[in-house]
Amino acid sequence: MKKMGLCHLNSGVRYLYLPQKLLIVFHLMFCMCMITVAQQDESQIKFLMRQLDDEDVAVRSKAAKALGSFGYKAQVAVPLLIGSLNDESRYVRRNAAFALGRIGGDTGESVPALITALGDGDWTVRLNATSALGSIGESAKAAVPFLINVVDDVNWEVSVNAVKSLGQIGPSAGIAVPVLGQALKSENEMIRSNAAMALSGIGKAAIPVLVSALTDTNKIVRRTAAFSLSRIDKLPKETLLALTVTLNDSDVSVRVSAAAALAKVDPSSRKKTVLILTEALNSKDEFARGFANYSLKKIRELDALFIEEKVKTLILQLRNSDATIRYKATVALGKMGQTASGAVSDLIKLLDDPDKRVSSHTFAVLSSINSPEAAKAVNQYLENQK
């Protein structure tokens, strides 16, 4: 006898509840819509590709820019856009470079043409070419020497993009470190800022330059260098020592930057670094106040994430078949105090553990955690012992 609310889909095979059937229908409709959208995109991309050969400069220019809006979907248009980098119109060349950057590509197919575009007579073409190479990333490593040359472009906006792109290419741009070190001292704030980000993007090869910058005569260079170091993983001991020395810098904004960097990469420094950051909350220096506040929030977030991951790991150990591992997990959770509250449910199950070490220590841990669930379990356990 068929149950009410069931819908028969495949005769003699199975029945599905109506909601499940509707989900299948909606899923199929969604897939069909996606296919339709993909087909429309493909059709539009082909149309725009044809427009790249139009006699009207405005049409070619708009087509090139529009192709960039499709991102990676417009990969098929890359060869034509590369050709458009040689267009007689600077507007077409500029938009072709823009589109190639938006489309990207792991193969770096457009890199040689974009390198050539770095020497274009129009600064907006160079601007978009530098940006495009950065968007391509690691696959644009062949462009590094050419981007280094563009760092000193007559147009400062091109310089900014060149510096930024070197960082986006990453560790493969290691030969650019000396140039970026000089850019770190630029009078242009945007060049300085992008140089700092680029050096941290390159990583370990940039550490010596950044450490040297910690003693620069310009306080902005010093604090920027400290911030950049905080973005590099696994700093060597010598670098940590240099940051520790910078905690005594004469400028409060530099001290705050060094403290924030150390607090992130070396948790053992927290006693001193957090104190510096906390004191800076009342500083007259606007940058120091704002960055200290931001850094303290980030530290709390990192700590909370670390604790959450640690509790998850210990919960898995509480479920281990080896009693010794379970016991060690309860000991570790006991040392965490109230921060171990996320493990209460799993700890309660161990109150009846056959291993007395585990059950007795679990009781002690639950007693130290201030939560209704833990208190109820402890009281119930004591009642059962009477």
Instruction: Return the pLDDT at 28.
Output: 60
CB 144 within 8 A of CB 175: yes
Residue 66: CB atoms within 10 Å? 17
Instruction: Return the pLDDT at 38.
Output: 57
pLDDT in tens, 67-93: 999 988 999 999 999 999 999 999 999
Distances (CA, A) of 347 to 137, 331, 365, 368, 381: 48, 11, 8, 12, 12
Instruction: Return the pLDDT at 78.
Output: 93
Phi, psi angles (nearest 5°) of residue 206: -90, -10
Instruction: Return the pLDDT at 9.
Output: 42
Instruction: Return the pLDDT at 11.
Output: 44
Instruction: Return the pLDDT at 167.
Output: 95
CB 288 within 8 A of CB 252: yes
pLDDT digits (tens), the chain, 386 positions: 444 444 444 444 444 455 665 666 565 666 565 555 556 778 899 999 999 999 999 999 999 999 999 988 999 999 999 999 999 999 999 999 999 999 987 768 999 999 999 999 999 999 999 999 999 999 999 999 999 999 999 999 999 999 999 999 999 999 999 999 999 989 898 999 899 999 999 999 999 999 999 999 999 999 999 989 988 888 999 999 999 999 999 999 999 999 999 998 888 898 899 999 999 999 999 999 999 999 999 888 888 888 889 999 999 999 999 999 999 999 999 988 888 889 999 999 998 899 999 998 898 989 888 888 988 888 887 877 76
Phi, psi angles (nearest 5°) of residue 312: -60, -40
Q: Which residues pair with 16 in a beta bridge?
A: 7
Phi, psi angles (nearest 5°) of residue 6: -100, 145
Q: What is the DSSP string of 180-219?
A: HHHHTT-SSHHHHHHHHHHHHHH-GGGHHHHHHHTT-SSH
Instruction: Return the pLDDT at 371.
Output: 87
pTM: 0.70
The domains located in the chain, with CATH, are 203-313 (1.25.10.10), 319-384 (no CATH)
Instruction: Return the pLDDT at 12.
Output: 45
